[in-house]
Structures are given as structure tokens and as C-alpha cells.
Amino acid sequence: MPVLHDAYPSRVFDQPQLLPRRDPVVYADRPAGGGLSPDQVAFYEENGYLFLKQFFREEEVDVLLREMRRLAASGLRQGDEVVIEPESDIVRSIFRVHALSLVFDSLCRDPRLLQMARFLVGDEVYIHQSRVNLKPGFRGKEFYWHSDFETWHVEDGMPRMRALSMSIALTENNEFNGPLMVVPGSHRHYVACVGRTPEHHYLQSLRQQEYGVPDDDSLARLVAEGGIVAPKGPGGSVVIFDCNTMHGSNSNISPYPRSNVFCVYNSVENALQEPFGGQPPRPESIAARGSFVPLTPAERGFVALAE
């Protein structure tokens, strides 16, 4: 596969740069579709995210939460899929959950999610990445501000901004337990970061990221323009956000756990190239490059699989 021109250089400059987005946000050729109304599509295009409160039913959330707990207790800690908190032995994240669990595979291929993803990227999609972030009470650490695309571009070789994440809340996300925060409108700017990426950087960055994070001035400018929003709601709520939307979350010092599962959809026309940062590709568990076959809707819902 030929290496494409680097449309979004990063980690190659002496000073950070704030560059304009060069790609569409919504690729569909009509104002509504995929189960989304015209107002919802327009909001997503303008703000870079969309909040769907209580999208999944309570019984569906219960199934997903039980499956997350099963994986966390299943002894996977020696594999590439599990990331431990930087200052403890607590599980921070479990990656590639769609390959580890039929329940999460069915979730990622849920027709309701799949139709929205296909509409917004204007194409068939595959799973670039899936993961669960556990963030338990009292000791769940923060996820510092970042654009997913900057990392996916530099370290994984994703060519263009034609991907999105769907974060499904497995527990209530409230003001106390470190909810996902987004900067509205930030998806229209690309923060080109400084600092050459160290080899095998992902071994540290998934625990505590130091490279590929925005500088203070660029982040302050984005927040001055768009503010900060923390979509809060009960388990089953969904946040859809563009791959270049600046986001992060605070540490959780409350007693309330905050667990979310992420399904990351990428257009099959936006398949990964060699990493633009020049480093070897990250493992398949973090960035899928072994197959870009379009997803098909799940034949059985994840609730039925758990019965």
C-alpha cells in the first residue's frame, strides 16, 4: 500500500501549530439519515460531538456492565489488551474488547450504532479500536486532553479525519466521577504537537500520555472559542464524537465508578498506512490493520448472547 502525503504533520515542529481542518466533518450527502435528525446532524457538524441520553435500555446496560466485569476479572493482565494504572495494579483500560467478547462484538455491530457511523463518515466502516475505560472510584486516574486523530495519524497511520468514536456509558457519568469532557468546535482545528515520538511510546502513553498532547496555549485558545462540555447522564447514554475533537477527563476521587466502552469506527476508504511519525506500527490490539472488511449488523443482539 503506497504511503500517502502527510496532510497533518505533527511532532516535527519546534513550536506547536494550530492548523485548519482539511476534511469534512459529516461526509453524508444529505442533511439527515442513519437514525439522526437534521438538527442532530447539524449539531454534530458544528460542535464535533452529539449526546444521546439513555440511548440503551437499563437491561442492555446491565448486560454490558456484567461483561466488562467478567473481562476485568478474567486474568488477561499479561496480554497486550490490558493497561494498568500508572501508580497501581488497577486495570485502567481493556482494548480490543470486540475481539475478546461476543457481547462487545455484537455491541459494536449493533444496527443502531452502525447506521449512525456509516451515515456520518459517508461510507462502510470497520472497527479501528475498541476499549473499555474502567476508572474505578477513589483511584481512577485522569485521561489528559488530546485529539485521538493526532495519535492515530502519527502513531497508527490513519490518513484523514474520517473516523469517530461512540462512548457508551456503563455507569452514570456525573460531575463527581470524572466524566468525559469535550471542547465544542475544537474538531475544526488540528493541534500539531512538538516532541519526536520515542520508540514504543504506546507502552507508556496508554497509562499516562506525554507526547501528542496539546500545549497550554493552543488548548486555552480552543477552550476560549468553544468552552468545555461534560455530557452527563445515566448508564446507557452515548457520546458520539469526531476523531479530532479535543477531549479528556479528570481523575475520579469520588466513591462512584465511571466505566465507558468505546467503539471507534473508521471508513474503509481511510485504511491505515504506515505511521506518519516514522515509528513501527502499534499492536493490532490498539490499532486494527490486519483487516479493513466492512462491518455487518449483528444477527443477534448482545442481550440475547448473554442469556
104-127: pLDDT as tens digits = 999 999 999 999 999 999 999 999
List the chain pLDDT tens, one digit each, 307 residues.
445 689 999 998 889 999 999 999 999 999 999 999 999 999 999 999 999 999 999 999 999 999 999 998 876 665 678 888 777 778 889 999 999 999 999 999 999 999 999 999 999 999 999 999 999 999 888 989 999 999 999 999 999 999 999 999 999 999 999 999 999 999 999 999 987 766 654 444 444 445 678 999 999 999 999 999 999 999 999 999 999 999 999 999 999 999 999 999 999 999 999 999 988 999 999 999 999 999 999 988 999 887 7
C-alpha cell at 262: 468505546
11-60: pLDDT as tens digits = 988 899 999 999 999 999 999 999 999 999 999 999 999 999 999 999 99
Q: What is the mean pLDDT of the chain?
A: 91
Q: CA nearest 246: which of 304, 181, 177?
A: 181
Residue 210, pLDDT score: 59
Number of H helices, E strands in the chain: 9, 12
Give the predicted TM-score (pTM) of the model.
Answer: 0.93
Domains located in the chain, CATH noted = 17-167+175-234+244-254+269-306 (2.60.120.620)
Cβ-Cβ contacts under 8 Å for 32 (sequence gap 6 or more) = 38, 40, 41
Angle between the N-to-C axes of helices 38-47 and 111-121, in degrees from 0 to 180, rounded to the nearest 10: 60
Q: CA nearest 276: which of 156, 146, 128, 147?
A: 156
